[in-house]
Amino acid sequence: MGEHPDAAVVRRAATAFQQGDLDTLATTLTADVVQHVPGDHMLSGHHKGRDACLQLYRTEYEETGGTLRVDVETVMPDGRGHVISGQHCHAERGNRTLDMKTGLFFTIVGGKISDIDYCVEDIDAANAFWGK
C-alpha cells in the first residue's frame, strides 16, 4: 500500500521547508491556513493566512542565519483529515542553541494544509531561544 495522501502532503511540505523552498511550500497550504506557535516569544501566536505563515518561516530562517534544521522522524495520518508529525529541531541564534523534539498537528482540507498546531518539548527553552 502507498502512503496516505494526507501524509504525502505533509511530507511534501516538510521537504520544501527543509530546503527553504517557500514557493513549493506555499502550494501545500490553503489561502486561509493558520499556524499556532506556543510560548511567549517573538514568534508566538496565531499566524493567519498563507502570507503570514510564509513570513513566519522567513523570519525563522533569517533569525537563525540559515542554521534551522528540522528532521522529520515520523508522519502519522488518521485517515480523517489529520496528520501528526514528530521531528527533531536544531538551530543556532547568536550564542543560543535550540535542540529538541517538536511536533506538528496538521488539519488537511482538500489535499492542502489548513491548520498547524506546533508543539515543543520544552516551552521554556523555546522562549529563551527565540526571546522577545
Cβ count within 10 A of residue 24: 14
Candidates 3.30.413.10, 2.60.40.10, 3.40.50.740, 3.10.450.50; correct CATH number of 5-130?
A: 3.10.450.50
Q: Which amino acid is at 65?
A: G
Phi, psi of 6 (to 5 degrees): -65, -40
pLDDT score at 1: 67
pLDDT grade for 123, boundaries at 50, 70 and 90: very high
Q: Is the pLDDT of residue 132 over 80?
A: no
- Do 82 and 108 touch, CB atoms closer than 8 A? yes
Cβ count within 10 A of residue 18: 15
Dihedral, CA atoms, 74, 49, 79, 87, nearest 10 degrees? 10
pLDDT in tens, 45-85: 999 999 999 999 999 999 999 999 999 999 999 999 999 99
Delimit the domains of the chain by residue range. 5-130
Residue 37: half-sphere exposure toward Cβ, Cα within 13 Å: 17
- Do 107 and 114 touch, CB atoms closer than 8 A? yes
- Do 108 and 83 touch, CB atoms closer than 8 A? yes
Cβ count within 10 A of residue 38: 15
